[in-house]
Amino acid sequence: MASKTGEQKRMWGGRFSESTDELVQRFNASVDFDRRLALHDLAGSVAHATMLGETGILTQDEAAQIIAGLKNLKQEVEAGTFEWRVDLEDVHMNLEHALTERIGPIGGKLHTARSRNDQVATDFRLWLRDETHALIGLLREVQGALVAAAERHLGLIMPGYTHLQVAQPVLFSHHLLAYYEMFARDEGRLTDSLKRLNISPLGAGALAGTGFPIDRARTAQLLGFEGVARNSLDAVSDRDFAVEFLAAASLIMMHLSRLSEELILWSSQEFGFVTLPDSHTTGSSIMPQKKNPDVSELTRGKTGRVYGHLLGLLTTLKGLPLAYNKDLQEDKEGVFDTADTLRVCLTLTADLLPKLVPNASRMREAAGRAYSNATDLADYLARQGLPFREAHEVVGKLVARALREGKDLQELTLAEMRAACALIGEEVFEVLRLESVVNARSSYGGTALDAVRAQLAAAKARLEGQG
C-alpha cells in the first residue's frame, strides 16, 4: 500500500500535491467488498471497448489489445491469483491499473467516454441481475419441496389456528401449500423487478453524458440489457433497483421466518407435530436430551438483519442530491449480505422440508380437541333452517355443557344435544367427524381433500411450466 509520502501515483491524482492520509485512504476504499463485482466489471469493460472500436473512437487494433488484456485479467480473477490493492481504492481502479501494467499505456484508453459513476452502476446491475436469477431458482426449489411434501402427506389432518388457538381442522397439505403461495408471490416480485433492474446506465458518464459519439444501445445489447437509461443524471444516481431487491428480499425472509416459527413450535414437546432432521438441528453443551431447531431459529433471526439493510439503504438515499455522491458506496454491502443470507436460508429450507417427519396421530389428536368441529354443528343447524346466530348460541351452550362434563361435542348423547335443539338428528355424529369437518370446506381454495388436490395440481403445473 502507498505511504503518506506519495510513492504511488494516483490514477486521479494530477490535481493533488499531497498524498492521501493513510486512514482516509482506508476509509475511502471499497475494494475489500466491491471486488466481488470483478467479473461483471470486466464484462462491462469488454462491451465498452468493443463499442469504442466499432464506433471508431478507438482503432480496431487498440480495442482488440484491450479486450485481450481484459480476458487475461478474467482468467486471473477466476483463478484467484489477482492481487488486490487497497491503495487503488476499488475494483475498477484495480482492474484498470492491472490492465495498463500488462498492455502498456493503451490500457488507459479504456476509460474513454466512461466514468466510474456509470461503470459501478452498470456492474452493480449486472451482478444483481445474476443474483436475482439464482434466487428465483432457489425459490422454485423451496416451492417444489413444499409441493412434494404436501403430496406425500395428503390426507393428514392437523389443527388450524387463529390467535394461536385451535380453530378448525385442516389438512397438513393445505397448510404447506399456503407457504407455496407466499413463495410464488416472492418469485413473482423478483421476476417483475428484472424489468426495472435490467436497464443499462453505461454511457451516462459522470452525470451529463459524453461528447464522444458512443453507441449506448450497442453496449446494452452486448451486456444483455433490455433497454438504456433515458436520463444520464438518473442513470448514475438511481439505486431504486437495489431498494426494490431489498424489499422483495425482506418479504421472502418474512415468509421464511413465519415458516421457521411454525417448525420451531411444531417440533417442541408441547406440540409434537413434527420431528426435525438431525442434519438440521443441534444439541446442547449441558443438556444431553436437547435437540434444538437452530437452522429455523437462525433463519428467523436473520430476518431482522435483512430488514436492517433495507432501512439502511433507504436512509442513505433519502437526502442525496443529484447526481453521484460517495454515500452511494454504502449501497453494496447490505445488498451483498442480503443475497448471501437469502441463498443460505432458501437452500437450507429446501433441504430441510423433504426430511421433515410429521406425527400424524399427534396432529389428529390435537385437531379433534378444543371443539374444533363446533362451527360445523352450527352450520348443520343453519342448513336445517335455524338462523345462524341462533345456531351459534345453541352450539355455544352445548360446548359449555361438554366443557363441564369433560367431553368433546361428539361424545354428548343425541338426547343431550336434542335437549338444546330439537332439529338435531342422528346424522349429526357423521357431521362432527374430523374427515367430514375437513371435507365440508370444499369451496375454491378450501381445505377439503378434493380442493387441496386441485391446489396441488395447479401448483405442480405452474412449477413445471417454469422449468
Q: Which residues are catalytic?
A: 163, 284
At 61, the amino acid letter reads D
d(CA 429, CA 410): 6
**Alpha-carbon distance values, 433 to 141, 210, 226, 446 (Å):** 36, 76, 57, 18
d(CA 448, CA 295): 32
Q: Parallel, antiparallel, or unpaired: how do β-strands 357-358 and 274-275 relate? A: antiparallel
User: How buried is residue 191: exposed, middle or buried, by Cβ count under 10 Å (0-12/13-18/19+)?
Assistant: middle
Instruction: Classify 224 in phi/psi space as left (phi over 0), alpha (psi -120 to 50) or beta.
Output: left
DSSP structure string for 144-164: HHHHHHHHHTTT-EEEEEETT
Residue 313 neighbours by CB under 8 Å, 6+ apart: 239, 242, 243, 246, 330, 331, 334, 335
**Alpha-carbon distance values, 363 to 156, 160, 267, 410 (Å):** 8, 10, 12, 18
At 14, the amino acid letter reads G
Judge whether 364 and 157 are in contact, CB under 8 Å. Answer: yes
Judge whether 178 and 381 are in contact, CB under 8 Å. Answer: no
How many other C-beta atoms lie within 10 A of the C-beta of residue 257? 19
User: Grid coordinates in use for 306?
Assistant: 435483512
Q: How far is it between the farthest Cα atoms of the chain?
A: 102
End-to-end CA gap in the chain: 49
User: Grid coordinates in use for 38?
Assistant: 470483478
Q: Which 8-state DSSP code applies to residue 275? A: E
